[in-house]
Amino acid sequence: MRVHRLKRLLLFGPYIVFIITLVLCMVLFAYLRREDEKIEALEEEIGHITVNQNGLIEKVSSVDSSVDELSSAIAAISNELSLIDIGAIESAKSNASSVSDDKAWPRRVYLTFDDGPSANTAKILDILKKYKVKGNFFVVGTEDPELQKMYKRIVDEGHVLCMHSYSHRYNEIYSSVDAFTADLDKISALLEEVTGSVPKIYRFPGGSSNSVSRLPMKEFIKVLDERGITYYDWNVVAGDATNPMLPADKIIENSLCDLNEYEEAMILFHDLANKTSTVEALPAIIEAIQKNGITIAPIDDDTIPIRHYTNNN
């Protein structure tokens, strides 16, 4: 039995071994195939990753090149800026502002005070002294010895003493050339007596464009010309001639609002005894003018004649 079984084993053994080997090979092949597929899938994934990575690299490099372009643009602009003359720009700016300043504000402002002297004249002189500015006083005649001292004080403190008639009575002064001349003689003599000299500046009561004169104004101007006396009117009105008295804030507003209209501004104030709001307003007006760098000046030979009179008057 054993021999028979051994013979059968020897006969079928190789077949069995072959079949087992074949099955093992098939299993192994299937396994390898599956692993291959896995590897392929992995490779594909890696490929995608690589593609994405390349895309990223591409994007990064394009950002890089944009940054480079930006940098060179900035460098170019910096270079341009360095070539621009900053001094010239500053100078142009200052010229521009000075041009606009010229337009916005006058070259000089003249503070003129009519109808004094009075108790307010001393207060105004104190204010002008405090701000170190010179004014122009168009005075009338007075018989009060105390007030007459004001003529002298005006001159002594460096202000311009000017005439504004002796009587300030329109109906008398403008009634004839003789009457006008007599009045002029009277104020000239008084001021010469007190101060030692006759002023060379005059302002007509009511201005050279007044409508009360019975004669043409050129008749009176001729009298002044013969004596070498120059007359001035005004181009800015503080508005303090009115009754009742104008409040100080209104006087300030009136005095400043029209200044930019003129290359030289001559402001008309009044230093009569009842014009206390003018005294009150004066410091703020001076401060505003000085704050804008404008010179407050006494009338001199360079002052532009500010006159209302024309040949048609």
Chain residues that interact with Zn ion, rule: CB under 5 A: 114-115, 205
| Nearest-angstrom CA–CA distance, 112 and 270 | 8
Q: Assign residue 146 a region: left if phi > 0, alpha if psi is -120 to 50, beta otherwise?
A: alpha
Q: Is the dihedral of CA 72, 74, 78, 84 positive or negative?
A: positive
Q: How far is the CB of 146 from Zn ion (least distance, A)?
A: 21
Residue closer to Zn ion, measured from CB, 112 or 294 = 112
Q: How far is the CB of 235 from Zn ion (least distance, A)?
A: 16
CB 108 within 8 A of CB 294: yes
Residue closer to Zn ion, measured from CB, 114 or 240 = 114
Residue closer to Zn ion, measured from CB, 168 or 200 = 168
Q: How far is the CB of 241 from Zn ion (least distance, A)?
A: 8
Q: How far is the CB of 244 from Zn ion (least distance, A)?
A: 18
- SS3 sequence of the chain: CHHHHHHHHHHHHHHHHHHHHHHHHHHHHHHHHHHHHHHHHHHHHHHHHHHHHHHHHHHHHHHHHHHHHHHHHHHHHHHHHHHCCHHHHHHHHHHHHHHHHHHHCCCEEEEEEECCCCHHHHHHHHHHHHHCCCCEEEECCCCCHHHHHHHHHHHHCCCEEEECCCCCCHHHHCCCHHHHHHHHHHHHHHHHHHHCCCCCEECCCCCCCCCCCCCCHHHHHHHHHHCCCEECCCCEECCCCCCCCCCHHHHHHHHHHCHHHCCEEEEEEECCCCCHHHHHHHHHHHHHHHHCCCEECCCCCCCCCCCCCCCCC
Q: How far is the CB of 137 from Zn ion (least distance, A)?
A: 12
Give the phi and the psi of residue 242 in degrees, each rounded to 5.
-80, 155
Residue closer to Zn ion, measured from CB, 106 or 120 = 120
Residue closer to Zn ion, measured from CB, 139 or 294 = 139
Nearest residue to Zn ion, scored by beta-carbon proximity: 114
Residue closer to Zn ion, measured from CB, 114 or 264 = 114
Residue closer to Zn ion, measured from CB, 135 or 205 = 205
Q: How far is the CB of 272 from Zn ion (least distance, A)?
A: 9
Q: How far is the CB of 270 from Zn ion (least distance, A)?
A: 7
Q: How far is the CB of 291 from Zn ion (least distance, A)?
A: 30
Residue closer to Zn ion, measured from CB, 140 or 252 = 140
